[in-house]
Structure 1
Amino acid sequence: MKLLITVGRRMSLLLNDLLDLSQLRESNIQLKLQSLHIQSAAPGVVDMLGPKVHSLYNW
């Protein structure tokens, strides 16, 4: 059951990303530059990419 929930969430995120990409291509979304505090963003990026790095390098 846990696997089904995980797969469902991943599929939902993928679908949202595809919809965003489609809207970007059609110029329905405009991106705005703004400052970013890297200290607040870095932990989220590490959490998101960590499992992929572990699987690639068998850590």
Structure 2
Amino acid sequence: MDEKKTFGGARPGSGRKPIAEGSVTVPVTIKLTPPQRDKLKRLGGAPWVRERIDKAKE
């Protein structure tokens, strides 16, 4: 049982990459109907929402 496993576990460089270097993100939950969720996915999901928020005037 001294065999070294070559799969599973944490690996350097694995995991979801940050949106922008040094940026911190927070999770946000919204309620959508199933058709709205499907449309959001077709439009581009979270990246599409972030782009719209950044372009919107306050």
- The answer, yes or no, to whether TM exceeds 0.5 is no
Greater Rg over alpha carbons, structure: 2
Structure with greater helix share of residues: 1
**TM, length-normalised to structure 1:** 0.26
**TM, length-normalised to structure 2:** 0.26
User: Whose relative contact order is higher, 1 or 2, with alpha carbons under 8 Å and at least 6 apart?
Assistant: 1
